[in-house]
Amino acid sequence: MTDRTVKNALRNDGAAPKDGAVLFDNYLEWLALQKGCSEATCRAYRADLAQFAAFLEERRLSVACPQDIGRKDIQAFLAALFRRNEARSSMARKLATLRSFFQFLLRRGLVKENAARQVRSPRQEKRHPRVLNVDETFAVLDARSPAAENDSAVRRLHLRNLALAELLYGSGLRISEALGLDAEDYRPKTNVLRVMGKGSRERLTPLSDTSVDALSAWLKARQHFAAPGERALFVGARGGRLQRREAARIIAALCRQAGLTFTVSPHSLRHSFATHLLIAGADLRSVQELLGHKRLTTTQRYTQVSLEHLVNAYDKAHPRSGCRDE
């Protein structure tokens, strides 16, 4: 099989082949009902499985006959991803998808072993999340839009943008959690927000005073955009629920309006929220609860980020650090 045919197979992220579609549908239905996976997660799993199925077709194999798929086939799939310069984190996620899928097949007696578990995960590069410092964060949250001064519609949408940014930083929400909120989830009198997190785990998260002010201002403007019957807290200019790509453009625009020389993703505001709490002395368990992490080890990665901030501050300020400018 040539590299060209492999690349063509890997580009296929559409529907699964007809003979494997039933297995995929059953598996994804099980994920949604038994594991409580979100629609976005199921969509990502489907894309991964469809890509793997397309690759198998080039090797004259089929998902409809999973007992014929072995460890070497899965290793070949990862090798093809590697030649395509796929990120190691993406390769690891796709391998995790295959492990889960084959475990599902094993429990139902469709395979004798989980071939994906015999394949080692790619060694991950140690990357810490990009965070803003406090001044940069405040600049983003206080950003002004020049166009909003002369256009009422732009001004109202700018209120939405600021409310979204305040919520991501003030409460440390995932972007999917913020965009999944309905207007009724916000209860102004309690200063608490009901959030549906990963795995359909519900939690209550506190709101900062600035978040409350920003949300109140946006709710007054929301009525000018929301379509009849639309429940979403954050809506787009056409009245429907705000989408992830538009949210990413919103945060990038706020970074530019704040005068930053770089832009960050919506998730960076969540990272900044956790890092700033730890730097200020918050305990790890509390931060875990606020972020909605299932495992403490997931939260612990922020301790390394906060430690780096402290070391950099020490190097710049302490007279004996040896790093100060002469």
Active site residues: 174, 198, 267, 270, 293, 302
Whole-number CA gyration radius for the chain: 23
Q: In what order do the strands lie in the sheet with 186-187?
A: 186-187, 192-196, 202-206
Structure-token pair, residue 203: 């939690």
Residue 321's contacts (CB-CB under 8 Å, 6 or more residues apart) are: 314, 315
Residue 123's contacts (CB-CB under 8 Å, 6 or more residues apart) are: 88
For 42, other C-beta atoms within 10 Å of its C-beta total: 16
- Calpha distance 223→220 (Å, rounded): 6
Cα atoms found within 13 Å of the Cα of residue 186, Cβ hemisphere only? 27
DSSP state of 292: T
Q: How far is CA 225 from the centre of its chain?
A: 26
Q: Which of 268, 246, 255 is nearest to 128 (CA)?
A: 268
Helix (H) / strand (E) element for 206: namely strand 202-206
- Calpha distance 53→77 (Å, rounded): 10
Rounded to 10 deg, the angle between the 3-11 and 71-83 helix axes is 90
Q: Which residue has the tokens 């296929």?
A: 12
| 205 and 167 Cβ atoms separated by less than 8 Å | no
